[in-house]
Amino acid sequence: MPATAGGRRNRLNNLDSKTWLKFQKSWFVHNPPPRRKDVLAHPAKFPETLAEEFIRFFTKRGAVVLDPMVGTGSTLVACVRARRRGVGIELNERYFGIAQKIVADEVAATPRFSSRLTPLLINADASDISRLKLPRVDYVLTSPPYWDMLRARGAETQKKRRAAPNLDVFYSDDPRDLGNVADYDEFVQRLSAIYAGLKPLLKPKAYLTIIVKNVKKGGVIYPLAWDLARALGTTYTLKDERVWCQDNLRLAPFGLGSAWVSNTFHHYCLQFRNDG
């Protein structure tokens, strides 16, 4: 049984003390590797390599990990690699189909993979999760839509995606898709309700990590990460945050010579715990 610094029993994960301490740094740089061609259709996928680091820290081998907005399956792929059982919910039928293939390929390529850890992938609305017969969960790792920013004026400048065949610029036209909610307060309320609804599934002291960022729209900052942290603070204990930085992105001359507009290359990884 690995021990944390000071020789104490490690009840959280299977990591050694050095790896544990490295993860405790409040900010980190992670530049994702190139994406597989079959997942390029998704306009805002987060990397399996990042997901695996969080899963290995917040769970032990064999644990159940849930992503209620799994997209093309990053969290489930990371679970296969880390030998955890992944459970993923995805509303979009196209992304669900892509995730099925990606995850099946990963399982097939993994030597001696235990059948009891076979990922569970469900095509459903995360807001209906209480109606799904899901197992109790040791950890939740997820990243929501960043409001309707993929439909904002600036998103229309994604020339490469717009010009290429079969690449989505936004998620869908489904009214259930939170990426289509135009009103910010309604978006925060509906998103918070989905995450709060996971509480009955979470084991006591289980963690929930939400990867999100504040967004700019119409020259105004909407503090999505902070508003989500405040809203969910009544359901879970907000324990901390880690700031994910990317330093391999090209700078754009926003507001050059006239106004301050940042190039935002960081995300907030909010850490909640089910203490209730």
Distance CA 131, CA 69 (A): 16
What pLDDT shows up at residue 245? 94
Distance CA 174, CA 125 (A): 11
pTM: 0.86
Give per-residue pLDDT as tens, 33-88: 765 555 444 445 678 999 999 999 999 999 999 999 999 999 999 999 999 999 99
Residue 193 pLDDT level (bands cut at 50, 70, 90) = very high
Distance CA 259, CA 69 (A): 36
Instruction: Look over the chain and give the mean of its residue pLDDT values, rounded to a whole number.
Output: 86
Give per-residue pLDDT as tens, 119-162: 999 999 999 998 999 999 999 999 998 776 655 655 444 555 34
Determine the average pLDDT of the residues in 12-39. Answer: 85
Distance CA 121, CA 142 (A): 14
- Helices 74-82, 93-108: axis angle to 10 degrees equals 20
What pLDDT shows up at residue 156? 45
What pLDDT shows up at residue 147? 74
Distance CA 217, CA 215 (A): 7
Which architecture characterizes domain 33-273 according to CATH? Answer: 3-Layer(aba) Sandwich (3.40)
DSSP string across 112-179? T--GGG--EEEES-GGGGGGS-PPPEEEEEE----TTGGGSGGGGG-HHHHHSTT--SSS-S-TT-GG
What pLDDT shows up at residue 6? 55
Residue 169 pLDDT level (bands cut at 50, 70, 90) = very low
Residue 30 pLDDT level (bands cut at 50, 70, 90) = very high
Percent of the chain with pLDDT over 70: 83
